[in-house]
Structure 1
Amino acid sequence: MLKRILSVLGLVLLAGCQSSAPQSVADSQVPPSPAVRKAVVKAFEAGAFSARNIFDPKISSVVLLDPKTKTYAFCLRGSSQRGVEIPKILGVSFRDGRILGASKTDFRCRDKRLRYYPFPELYAYNSQD
Structure 2
Amino acid sequence: MIELADKLQNKHRLKVFVNKSMFNGGEVNYLTVFDNNKFHVFWGKEVAQIMTDNLTVLNSQARHSDQFPQQKVILKHEGVNLGEIEMRNDSIVHYREIRFNMVKPKIIFKKNYNDTVIVYSEATKRFGSRWKR
Q: Into which bin does the TM-score normalised by the smaller protein fall?
A: 0.3 to 0.5
More helix by share: 1
Larger RCO (alpha carbons 8 Å, 6+ apart): 1
> Under a length normalisation based on structure 2, what TM-score does the superposition of the two structures give?
0.32
> Under a length normalisation based on structure 1, what TM-score does the superposition of the two structures give?
0.33
